[in-house]
Amino acid sequence: MSTRRLPPGAAAAGQALVEFLGLALILVPFLLLLPMIAKYQDIAHATDMAARYVAFDATVRNDANGGNWKPNGELAGEVRRRFFSNPTAPIKTNDTPGDFKAHQNLFWRDPLDNALIRNFDSDVRISFGESASPDRGAGFRGVNEGAIFIRHDALGVKARGVFRGNVSVSVANLPDSLTGPTKSYERLKSLDLVIRRHVDLVPDGWTAKDPDQTASRIDSAEINTGSTFKLPLFEFLPPVIEAAVVVMESPSGCFSHCGPKLGELDYWKEVVPADRIVRPRTGQ
């Protein structure tokens, strides 16, 4: 009785094929999911940027700087158009996206070419505060600034605390009719994914547009006690103090204008001379 031997390398080749098929059962479903994972990650990044926009808008449009809050509908429309619609869309005032392909992000589509954000008005939402309220007042979380600096109101600075802006996005499930070589998409058909992001900041920071505005905020008796010497009742004191300082400092060469400049904020203002400012040339 004779036995038949396999040619050299045949057994190894068969083992490699079995290993490849085993790995394929694991890798193929993962590879099929990679495009969808990338789409979800991209929507999450856009939600991050949108939350920053909502929060930082409170620093320029609020009720503490002499203006009013931007209406919720206007702010939500800007978020939807600028962060969740076609990325090539121009930035225009009062421009809102429509639920049609020309206004949708063409990358955010499922394998059957359906939009992952089906309805901008209901799927993309903004809110404020930890309670996700539509009220801007609920966006603030109190802190203890007032306990540390009790005269913050004299500077025109509010102590409302930290403001939170929220953005949430509901992502559509994959359609039940979607089929493939594996069951990779099955879990995504009932995922009910909602992406939420928030950004916290202090919108009531003490900022000024120029030195004059800074001086106007501190040129009061509550903050700058020297300003009381400008009142008619005390206006005789600065010349007397000035003369006394001249007498005391005269051996060192001080003969005039050596006083402490009581209440004179202009004396301490740093102004760059006009001849030292380099202006850009036009026509280049």
Q: Which of 144, 172, 201 is the last residue of a domain?
A: 201
> Residue 41, CB half-sphere, CA atoms under 13 Å: how many?
6
**Same-domain pairing of 95 and 183:** yes
Categorize the per-residue pLDDT at 49 as very low, low, confident or very high, splitting at 50, 70 and 90. very high
The strand ranges marked E within the chain are 124-128, 140-141, 162-170, 194-201
Say if 3 falls within a structural domain.
Answer: no
Say if 183 falls within a structural domain.
Answer: yes
Say if 9 falls within a structural domain.
Answer: no
> Residue 121, CB half-sphere, CA atoms under 13 Å: how many?
5
Say if 283 falls within a structural domain.
Answer: no
Say if 133 falls within a structural domain.
Answer: yes
Say if 12 falls within a structural domain.
Answer: no
CA proximity to 121, closest of 76, 90, 174, 167: 76
pLDDT tens digits along 134-190: 999 899 987 665 565 666 676 767 778 899 999 999 999 999 988 866 677 888 899
Say if 72 falls within a structural domain.
Answer: yes
pTM: 0.69
Say if 145 falls within a structural domain.
Answer: yes
Give residue for tokens 């392909």.
101
Phi, psi of 104 (to 5 degrees): -95, 155
How high is the pLDDT of residue 193?
96
Q: Which residues make Cβ contacts (< 8 Å) with residue 86, sequence separation at least 6?
A: 97, 102, 103, 104, 105, 106
Separation between Cα atoms, residue 8 and residue 46, nearest integer Å = 57
**Same-domain pairing of 140 and 41:** yes
pLDDT tens digits along 208-260: 667 777 777 777 666 776 677 776 777 777 777 777 766 666 666 565 566 66
**Same-domain pairing of 189 and 217:** no
Tokens of 169: 């996005």
The residue segments making up the domain with residue 64 are 21-201
Q: How many domains does the chain have?
A: 2
